[in-house]
């Protein structure tokens, strides 16, 4: 019996997703992509969920996508578009309501990096390499890589990595802001779970609104972003969570958020 391409487990308030195709270096196959998209839709309906962690099985996070068929290189057809759409996953991950953490347990290349860039935070294992090699094969990233990479590390650094196909190690990735932390392999998942636990202490609506304000604000003028922040803050003030926060402060206890 074939193993599932994606394994979902719950760790308290966090969902742990494991890319589970180690023999294929966790490449994004149609089966894995479909599982990821469907799982993200399902997780968005979970009221008890606070964080999603994505990692890989084996020694690789994801070495990227399947080889683009040579037959597509000389023709333009609906089959090309379908081939690409069947393998896209980044938008589904970026669309998760709650914060997401990519625990990069090994090499994170091409579409594997595009998947990681769609997460809100990235932690990497020492020894992992990250980057894009698409241009060396006459391709460009097509699952959000050109857009998200430049927003995270800046245009100049993004262009340098994309145009030269240079892979960087985890420490260099940390220095340029591509990952938020670097840890020994054995400590990576515990660190990700610890981070998830700290994030999960906040109320669901506060987490959602903060994520929305940051991401949507990147595409707005500052005054528009400030307006969005103010609107979301006003909405949050009218919820039961905000009243519970005030009561818990007065009563000197931890808040019990209900997201209403």
Note the pLDDT tens digit of each residue in 223-243.
Answer: 998 888 888 887 877 755 544
The pLDDT value recorded for residue 13 is 94
The pLDDT value recorded for residue 50 is 95
The pLDDT value recorded for residue 243 is 47
Note the pLDDT tens digit of each residue in 110-146.
Answer: 999 999 999 999 999 999 999 999 999 888 898 999 9
Q: Which residues in the chain come in under a pLDDT of 50?
A: 1, 242-251, 260
The pLDDT value recorded for residue 237 is 77
The pLDDT value recorded for residue 145 is 96
From residue 158, how far is each of 10, 67, 78, 83, 190 by CA, in Å? 34, 23, 30, 26, 30
The pLDDT value recorded for residue 246 is 42
The pLDDT value recorded for residue 1 is 45
What is the second-level CATH architecture of the domain 204-251?
Answer: Orthogonal Bundle (1.10)
CATH topology of domain 6-199: 2-enoyl-CoA Hydratase; Chain A, domain 1 (3.90.226)
Domain coordinates of the chain in residue numbers? Answer: 6-199, 204-251
> pTM for the whole thing?
0.86
């Amino acid at each position: 019996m074939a193993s599932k391409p994606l394994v979902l487990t719950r760790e308290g308030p966090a969902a742990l997703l494991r890319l589970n195709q180690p023999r294929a270096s966790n490449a994004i196959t149609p089966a894995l992509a479909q599982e990821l998209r469907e799982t993200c839709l399902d997780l968005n309906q979970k009221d008890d969920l606070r964080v999603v962690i994505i990692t890989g099985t084996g020694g690789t996070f994801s070495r990227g996508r399947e080889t683009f068929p040579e037959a597509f290189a000389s023709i333009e057809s609906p089959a090309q578009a379908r081939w690409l759409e069947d393998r896209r996953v980044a938008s589904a991950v970026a669309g998760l309501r709650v914060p997401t953490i990519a625990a990069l347990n090994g090499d994170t290349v091409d579409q594997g990096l595009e998947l990681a860039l769609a997460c809100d935070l990235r932690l990497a294992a020492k020894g992992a390499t990250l980057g894009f090699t698409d241009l060396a094969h006459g391709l460009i990233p097509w699952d959000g890589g050109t857009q998200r990479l430049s927003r995270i590390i800046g245009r100049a650094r993004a262009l340098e990595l994309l145009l030269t196909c240079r892979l960087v190690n985890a420490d260099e990735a940390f220095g340029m802001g591509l990952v938020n932390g670097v840890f020994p392999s054995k400590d990576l998942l515990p660190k990700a779970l610890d981070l998830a636990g700290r994030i999960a202490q906040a109320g669901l609506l506060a987490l959602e609104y903060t994520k929305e304000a940051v991401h949507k604000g990147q595409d707005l003028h500052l005054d528009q972003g400030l307006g969005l922040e103010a609107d979301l803050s006003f909405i949050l003030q009218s919820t039961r969570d905000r009243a519970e926060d005030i009561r818990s402060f007065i009563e000197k206890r931890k808040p019990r958020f209900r997201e209403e």
